[in-house]
């Protein structure tokens, strides 16, 4: 495997610094009463940050008077600006951009403990260590920087079978936080609702319409259900109810895909990809009667907001990434992964999601499930 030169230099720089560090950094010496600032790293995708919110809430409940600073991906941090469990957000710009400036920001905060709930390596752990943080907790333990962590083990017997929410709650439990409430936190304000209602009204959609969302894209190609399957499903659904509308959601880089699917479905389908700001998307997801979705961040938004979902899984495991609560609102269509290439990012022509047919998905969507 090719190692980036910067990764190599960072690894050895931190390794040398750590060799001179004589502090007792194990959790045996950790004292909750001395904590004044907690740094939380959840700098990857939107879905991963949502999956971190139960752990962040448990940290706030255990440390109500402590300053909690979150290091979040700049592309989705606006969704969490009103999270009641976070006092301050520092943006992650990706890779090594603003690396040293961010380290200095962290050092000025003087965090007493850092929890890496889901961070980009090889930067995440060095960020925390170079900030001067004495205690660093991460589950699962990093094979590259595991020696720098304060937790001796993962605390979970088989982490490959544990749900992501439980993994992050386990990390928080190492500093005395309860691992009881698994619900994700995502707020919707009146401005979000007003924007979405006005947008839908402008496209001839009113409160009498049943809205079914299609999240056709995903960060990884091997998670994507074929466009033709979404098209077939959309046509089937529209034939069942004249008042039903299909809403294609997606990021700006998914505009072409969503426009194509909406165009092929025909009248009754609308693509909003790239047209509704991310912050307002939460109100749109809440407005839906149902979301049909790949394994991606929009799925977790819907679960957090109490919107019904039909989620599609094949290469990824729904037991680790799928719905964990309010199971009466969520149905999963899953197939066994046929190979392991996608696990190592070697799959050039993803095909496994094709094993889920439009007819299978259509049959799990009935009138009662739509809640109408």
- Could you please report the per-residue DSSP string of 226-260? PHHHHHHHHHHHHTT-TTEEEEEE--GGGHHHHHH
H or E, element range at 294: strand 290-294
Cα gap 136→153, rounded to integer Å:
12
Residue 223: which pLDDT band, with cuts at 50, 70 and 90? very high
| CA R_g for the chain | 22
Tens digits of per-residue pLDDT, 136-153? 999 998 888 999 999 999
* pLDDT for 295 beyond 60: yes
State the average pLDDT over residues 54-74.
97
Tokens read off for 276: 């509704």
Residue 345: which pLDDT band, with cuts at 50, 70 and 90? low
Q: Which of 96-100, 114-118, 147-151, 209-213 has the lowest mean pLDDT?
A: 96-100
* pLDDT for 372 beyond 60: no
Which CATH homologous superfamily contains domain 5-173? Glycogen Phosphorylase B; (3.40.50.2000)
CATH 2.60.40.420 fits 190-364, yes or no: no
H or E, element range at 92: strand 88-92
The highest-confidence range among 85-99, 280-294, 339-353, by mean pLDDT, is 280-294
State the average pLDDT over residues 109-123.
95
Provide CATH 3.40.50.2000 ranges for the chain.
Answer: 5-173, 190-364
How many residues are present in the chain?
372
Q: What is the predicted pLDDT for the residue at 11?
A: 87
Residue 258: which pLDDT band, with cuts at 50, 70 and 90? very high
Tens digits of per-residue pLDDT, 1-45? 455 788 889 889 999 999 999 999 999 999 999 999 999 999 999
CB 215 within 8 A of CB 224: no
State the average pLDDT over residues 349-363.
90
Q: Which of 4-18, 82-96, 202-216, 287-301 has the lowest mean pLDDT?
A: 4-18
State the average pLDDT over residues 289-304.
97
Q: Is 137 exposed, middle or buried (0-12, 13-18, 19+ CB in 10 A)?
A: buried
- Residue located via tokens 């004044």: 36
State the average pLDDT over residues 213-235.
95
Task: Please state whether the peptide bond connecting residue 361 to the residue before it is cis, i.e. omega within 30 degrees of 0.
Answer: no
Q: What is the predicted pLDDT for the residue at 1?
A: 43
CB 301 within 8 A of CB 216: no
* Distance linking the first and last C-alpha atoms of the chain: 53
* pLDDT for 350 beyond 80: no
Q: What is the predicted pLDDT for the residue at 344?
A: 56
Nearest-5° Cα angle at 16, 109 to 42: 40
State the average pLDDT over residues 212-234.
95
Cα gap 324→300, rounded to integer Å:
10
Strand partners of residue 249 = 215
Tokens read off for 364: 């799990």
Helix (H, G, I), strand (E, B) or coil at 305: helix
Q: Is 95 exposed, middle or buried (0-12, 13-18, 19+ CB in 10 A)?
A: exposed
Q: What is the predicted pLDDT for the residue at 8?
A: 87
Strand partners of residue 238 = none
* pLDDT for 275 beyond 60: yes
H or E, element range at 186: none
Q: What is the predicted pLDDT for the residue at 202?
A: 96
pTM attached to this predicted model: 0.93
Percent of the chain scoring above 90 in pLDDT: 84
Query: Is 5 or 60 the better-scoring residue by pLDDT?
Result: 60
Q: What is the predicted pLDDT for the residue at 116?
A: 97
């Amino acid at each position: 495997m090719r190692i980036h030169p910067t990764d190599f230099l960072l690894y050895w720089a931190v390794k040398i610094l750590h060799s001179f560090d004589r502090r007792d950094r194990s959790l045996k010496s950790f004292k909750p009463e001395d904590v004044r600032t907690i740094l939380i790293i959840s700098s990857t995708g939107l879905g991963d940050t949502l999956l971190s919110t139960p752990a962040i809430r448990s940290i706030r409940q255990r440390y109500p008077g402590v300053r909690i600073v979150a290091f979040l991906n700049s592309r989705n941090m606006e969704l969490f600006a009103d999270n009641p469990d976070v006092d301050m957000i520092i943006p992650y710009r990706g890779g090594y951009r603003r690396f040293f400036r961010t380290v200095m920001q962290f050092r000025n905060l003087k965090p007493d403990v850092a929890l890496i709930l889901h961070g980009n390596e090889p930067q995440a752990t060095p960020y925390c260590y170079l900030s001067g943080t004495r205690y660093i907790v991460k589950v699962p333990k990093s094979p590259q920087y595991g020696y720098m962590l304060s937790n001796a083990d993962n605390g979970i017997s088989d982490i490959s079978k544990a749900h992501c929410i439980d993994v992050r709650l386990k990390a928080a439990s190492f500093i005395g936080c309860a691992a009881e409430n698994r619900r994700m936190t995502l707020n919707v304000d009146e401005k979000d609702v007003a924007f979405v209602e006005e947008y839908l009204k402008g496209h001839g959609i009113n409160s009498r319409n049943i809205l079914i969302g299609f999240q056709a894209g995903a960060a990884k190609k091997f998670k994507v259900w074929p466009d033709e399957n979404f098209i077939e499903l959309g046509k089937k659904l529209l034939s069942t109810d004249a008042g039903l509308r299909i809403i294609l959601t997606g990021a700006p880089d998914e505009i072409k895909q969503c426009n194509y699917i909406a165009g092929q479905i025909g009248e009754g389908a609308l693509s909003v990809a790239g047209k509704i700001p991310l912050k307002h998307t939460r109100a749109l997801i809440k407005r839906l009667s149902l979301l049909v979705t790949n394994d991606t961040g929009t799925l977790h938004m819907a679960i957090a907001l109490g919107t019904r979902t039909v989620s599609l899984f094949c290469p990824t495991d729904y037991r680790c990434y799928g719905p964990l609560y309010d199971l009466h609102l969520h149905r999963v269509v899953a197939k066994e992964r046929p190979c392991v290439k996608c696990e190592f990012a070697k799959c050039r022509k993803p095909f496994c999601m094709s094993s889920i047919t439009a007819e299978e998905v259509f049959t799990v969507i009935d009138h009662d499930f739509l809640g109408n």
